[in-house]
Amino acid sequence: MILVTGATGFIGSALVWELNQRGRTDLLVSDHIEPKDRSDHLRKRTFKDFVPADHLTSHLSTVAKDLEAVFHMGACSSTTEKNAEYLRKNNTEYTRHLFEFCTKHQIPFQYASSGAVYGDGSQGFCDRTDPESFTPLNLYGKSKLDFDIWALKQESHPPHWQGLRFFNVYGPNEYHKGPMASVAFKAFQQIEETGQLRLFKSHNANYEDGKQLRDFVYVKDITRWMVEIYESKGGIRNGIYNQGFGKARTWLDLAQAVFSSLGQKLKIEWIDVPVDIRDQYQYFTEANMEKAFAEGLSQPQWSLEKGVADYVENYLVQSDPYL
């Protein structure tokens, strides 16, 4: 049996889809949000049981002997969350508890870290760099970095464990995320409603408007990689791994992909970056994927154009947009 936490969230529910696609239905799923309250995310999925996140720790001891892997995707993923104690409990301490459980029972463990740990990128975006050199720009990133640092120091650990630093993930099942949803999804909504897309101007002389760069990665690459890592049975070594496409693309590239998928011409309205976030605004992120690929992880299968086309044509414009 496989445990997936955060199973009614974006990447968690997509992982349940991926596992179902591979014939795995012996799944224990958990989240703070029950399936009945976010019913669409797991409506078409098959799993053995659901356990509320608040009850998971007490439930684990009863199923430990049956668990073959734990995928911990549950977390507060809001980059604007200001409650440090809430983030510490949900993103750091809860992950530590699961790490220690998997250590005790020798169960493979993967958890969601984040590209947010790299802060402004001044130290690069390499997963081989000492994490203590990074300064995240927000409390969310700090909560993820704190756990990465702790995990790397542990002499006792699960037999196989990986922390996955997700970059700009987009794709089906992210619809509940509101302000934290991908720009791909927000672009689709804006274009459908207004026929145009609002993008931030550049306030950096080194970048033209719309030429700000991000590492966009399709959720179907992410979930495939997670299963690949698990199925390698230690072939991919323990540690922290970036999870991005590995090639930064511009906001205009993303915009063009969405407009093209809708059969429309590019139409952009340029707006200023709000003054209160202008100093923290990032102009470049790009996952260094050399370590992951050297360990045997497959190359991404979904280019930005291919991923956006699949997302728009097979999900967003459909009456049922869910995996």
Buried residues in 149-165 as b, exposed as e (16+ CB within 10 A): eebeeeeebbebbbbbb
**Nearest 5°: phi and psi at 153?**
-90, -5
Distance CA(311)–CA(218), nearest Å, equals 9
First to last CA, the chain: 21
300 DSSP 8-state letter: P
Residue 4 token pair: 């997936």
Q: Which residue in 118, 140, 230, 311 is the catalytic one?
A: 140
CA distance 315 to 45: 16
How far apart are the C-alpha atoms of 224 and 206, rounded to whole Å? Answer: 36
**β partners of residue 71:** 4, 110
Q: How many residues does the chain have?
A: 323
What are the tokens at 15? Answer: 């992982």
On the 0-12 / 13-18 / 19+ scale of CB atoms within 10 A, 301 is exposed
* Residue 157: both structure tokens together: 């650990």
Neighbours of 105 (CB within 10 A): 16
Contact between 18 and 226 (Cβ < 8 Å): yes
311 is catalytic: no
Alpha helix (H) ranges present in the chain?
10-21, 53-63, 84-87, 94-105, 139-152, 183-194, 219-231, 251-261, 275-278, 290-294, 304-311
Candidate list 177, 186, 201, 211, residue with the active-site label: 177
Positions marked active-site: 140, 177
